[in-house]
Structure 1
Amino acid sequence: MKFEKELIHGTLIKRYKRFLADIELDTGEVVVAHCTNSGSMKSCLENGAEVYLTPVDDPKRKTKFTWEMIKINGDWVGINTGNPNKLAFEAISAGQIPGLEEYTIVRREVKFGDSRFDVFAENKQEKCFVEVKNVSMKQNEYALFPDAITTRGQKHLKTLIEVKKQGMRAVMLYIIQRSDVEIFAPAKEIDPEYAALLKEAFAAGVEIFPMQAKVTPHKITLVKKLPFEL
């Protein structure tokens, strides 16, 4: 996934009210950027760190920038929760994710029951619902999800179990937007209910794809599938 606009470099002053961040640009100007990540951003929030923003030309938007990434321990961590959906759609459409290739129809935002899944893919043999989650939290060598309790995420897991029961393929695709981790796991201490449901879903046949991405100011690229522990 390439960024459509040239990103603007700056330094994080502070994040506040969950969805806002004060950023000092290299010009010295201080701007307010929109933060799409509603979680705690634990382990990827550091005042004074380098950041990159996308400029936004939307007169309806109060904020004229979207916060894309932050440099932590010398490497970029993607924090825009909207990018994984775009990345997943592009990669599945192009057959670039091992195990999710050869789908002839790929669509975004498709409903099943009372849930809406990020990607739906099908071919002559099967139909597949894919829920995409952004992962930015790190603990030692582990990439963890979620970084805050997610009742919405719990609901998606329950619905994916129903998808599987109806004979279709059900996939949890975790896009890990950082390079300094080696294994994926649910954050049991933060959301034990989600962790238990993920284990239940996996036992029911829901597939788990933790895909690590390389984040740069020019593009985000899926690199490899990580192992996982439940």
Structure 2
Amino acid sequence: MQYDNSYRATFLSRPNRFIANVLLDGKPEVVHVKNTGRCRELLLPGANVYLEKSGNPDRKTCYDLIAVEKGARLINMDAQAPNRVFAEWVGAGGFQEGLTLLRPETTWGNSRFDFYWEASNRRGFVEVKGVTLEEDGAVYFPDAPTARGVKHVEELCACLEQGYEAALFLVVQMEGVAFWAPNDRTHPAFGTAVRRAAERGVQILAWDCKVTPDSITLRRPVSVRLHGVQENLC
């Protein structure tokens, strides 16, 4: 996934979930934040951030905030990127061999899953989640309570009962992490739902990404730890 017109800026503040104040070429600028999550550990005053210039002249903000430096680590925080990089990866031959169909935004039961796929006599659903919360080289999801996320995981279990395959796919929006785990401290119900889903046969997959100021690409699998990680943060 490639961005056009990438610019480096300095983060100043975030008045609400949707906008941020930055310093771009020495001048203050209000930009759109492409992630409504908390991101408290990322968007700190003085942090280097990366912006993409919008091509829409009618927008109130001219730039989108897409990535941030956290120490030596560059983290993509565009909430729309995970689905796009997953679809690109699948299109290049990843995920399932012999894929004949990949359909985004498919409704089943009481949920709309990110992707529905078919391959020969197999079929299944995938729910994709972006991961930006990192501490000491490990990554966690969610960074805020997500009742919707719990519902999606429970619906993935229901798919199995109807003969579908099901997967929760965590796109880690950075590279070189030790493992992914559910953030039980922030939302224990999500961790419980994920562990139950894994026991019932839902695939829990995590991949990290190669991230640059103007691109993000799926890179390689990340270890998943569902038990014994209770010291997570936030």
TM surpasses 0.5: yes
Check the 8 A contact 1:92/1:101 in 2, yes or no.
Answer: no
Give the Å deviation of 1:148: 0.1
Task: Provide the TM-score with structure 2 as the length reference.
Answer: 0.92
User: Given the alignment of the two structures, is residue 149 of structure 1 paired with residue 148 of structure 2, yes or no?
Assistant: no
> In structure 2, what is the Cα distance between the partners aligned to 1:109 and 1:74?
35
User: Given the alignment of the two structures, is residue 6 of structure 1 paired with residue 5 of structure 2, yes or no?
Assistant: yes
Moved more, 13-22 or 147-156: 13-22
User: Given the alignment of the two structures, is residue 197 of structure 1 paired with residue 196 of structure 2, yes or no?
Assistant: no
SS class of match (2:14) = strand
> Which residue identity is paired with 2:18?
F
SS class of match (1:85) = helix
Give the Å deviation of 1:6: 2.0
Q: Within 5 Å, which residues of 2 pair with 1:175-194?
A: 175-194=171-190
Check the 8 A contact 1:171/1:208 in 2, yes or no.
Answer: yes
Q: Determine the structure 2 residue equivalent to 1:121.
A: 117
Please give the per-residue CA displacement for 1:101-149, whole angstroms capped at 9, x wherever unaligned. 4312112111111211111111212112111101000122321000000
Q: Determine the structure 1 residue equivalent to 2:78.
A: 80
Task: Provide the TM-score with structure 1 as the length reference.
Answer: 0.93
> In structure 2, what is the Cα distance between the partners aligned to 1:42 and 1:187?
15
2:136 to 140, 143, 150: 140
SS class of match (2:191) = helix
Q: Within 5 Å, which residues of 2 pair with 1:39-78?
A: 39-78=37-76
Moved over 6 A (4+): none
Aligned residues: 226
Please give the per-residue CA displacement for 1:187-213, whole angstroms capped at 9, x wherever unaligned. 000000000000011111110110101
Check the 8 A contact 1:42/1:147 in 2, yes or no.
Answer: no
Check the 8 A contact 1:93/1:103 in 2, yes or no.
Answer: no
Give the Å deviation of 1:150: 0.3
**Alignment RMSD (CA, Å):** 1.4
> In structure 2, what is the Cα distance between the partners aligned to 1:201 and 1:122?
21
Moved more, 56-65 or 140-149: 56-65
Moved more, 195-204 or 27-36: 27-36
SS class of match (1:16) = coil
- For structure 1, the 5+ residue unaligned runs are none
SS class of match (1:229) = coil
> Which residue identity is paired with 1:131?
E
User: Given the alignment of the two structures, is residue 168 of structure 1 paired with residue 164 of structure 2, yes or no?
Assistant: yes
Check the 8 A contact 1:42/1:137 in 2, yes or no.
Answer: no
> In structure 1, what is the Cα distance between the partners aligned to 2:146 and 2:115?
20
